[in-house]
Structure 1
Amino acid sequence: MKELAYYDGTIGTPEEVTVPFNDRVHFFGDGVYDASVGGNHQVYLLEEHLDRFYSSANALGIIIPMEKDKFGRLLTELLSKVEGNTHFVYWQVTRGAGARNHVYGEEMRGKLWVMIRPNLLKDPNAPIKLITMEDTRFFHCNIKTLNLIPSVMAAQKARKEGADETVFHRGDMVTECAHSNVSILKDGIFYSHPNDNYILRGISKTHMIKACYRLGIPVIERPFSVSELMEADEILVTSSSNFCLHANAVNGRTVGGKDPVTLKKLQDEVIREYLNYTGKESLFD
């Protein structure tokens, strides 16, 4: 099939699979999610994404109705049913279905969802444009919750302004993007916000830091300011479906482009890791 949907044991196309009216996702966004790239019908960095998924669910007391290993096998099996070589693999769990009530029975068992569709990775050599926006989200950004309205608003604002992504900041402290992590290179050093409750722990960001260590690039995990962002040698934007993009504009002002050699080394290294993991020959096949 070209696209696949799964809900609580039912498999079909997105048009065929239905969700019960009383699923708590409809009333409260009560659930968590994760996602990755599928390459050669392998879910990239599956174990790490599952670890984050189960940690997010645990933080909200959501009972995932399947053991981690079994669910990993299910994701791989579902991916094998979808045509193509590169996919977006998305999954979530909601707390379950029941009459609308803010409180819930702690014995409720969650409902698993999966969506798989063809995907094209962005060219890491093509620069992107960013805007900035005050971060007014809540203080549990480390949980990959389904409550994404602030990120939706920020992403839509970026589109209206002709940009590709929005960088959040609290006061002068940069946190992350609407649906990515943001890091900078300055004087040969890689700077990135630490994994606290202001950001989601990005798996692609973690692997970029590991790539820095392999390449001998110093890493400092500390908050950096909007001013430091604007004056950085390079601005790097990472997500599970785009491993190492770079920006050349923020709020219409030209940025970056001062350390293309280090940038290219990092891009090549994270792409090499992806190709080795999936057995693909090219990022775009």
Structure 2
Amino acid sequence: MVRDGARPGEHKYLAVRAYLADLVTSGLAVGDAIPSERSLTEQFGVSRMTVRQAIDALVTEGVLERAQGRGTFVAPPRADFEMRLTTFGEEARRRGLTPGAEVLDAATVPAPPHVAEALDRATGDPVHHVVRLRTADGTPMSIEDSWIPADLVPGLLDDGVPESLYAALRAHDLEPTWGEETITAADGTPDELQRLEMRGTQAVMRTVHRTFGGDAALLYSRTCYRGDRYSVFVPLREARPTLVPGTRPAGTDAGRPVQPGRIPEGSPR
């Protein structure tokens, strides 16, 4: 029996999808199970394939999440990943969450070629390398792989990894002023999925980021974000001259370097 209010001609799976979306917004809490596929097929008089199509749509949108062998549940809301030069901790606190970090690796090492190129250094120059698992309210959210030229912040790791790499830069009079970031979607590796405690989906969001102070590269990072916990928010502005990502600033704009992939006020670091 199709629910009251279903519009004539509405695709059957859309009616099921709308019903489930209404349940999430009007009654069910995060972690609650949705009605079983069997009960939904009986309620709407549709096939199980139609019910699964509706559920799949909401899983893709991040409204629901599947737990293998257990069922389908209301997913936690996704964090808006706004393109800004802020730290992970600042972004988490802004959303009322408690940030955390587990250091997976930290050492001063010779820069490999791709890192040296990104930081405008020679291959083999010393760089501080920090890998951290970032959490919000105890939930794993991302894995950050960061490099900072050792000559900019000598002794960065002498007393352990600082809570904020940006704060460490500022302590040496190095102010992050702009950045560039490339975002791609991919499947996580088995190690990433395990560390991020991801179940039911393998989708992750990968970013490659460079932070600059003026025209000097201060930090290079690669981050893997949970695809089921993040959505991207990008403020759009009037078109301005930009460079192809990965190139060096070559000019100025209103007294500032031309900024490839310009980020309006700062990305979680």
More helix by share: 1
TM-score (normalised: structure 1): 0.27
What TM-score, normalized to structure 2? Answer: 0.28
Give the greater-gyration-radius structure (CA).
Answer: 2
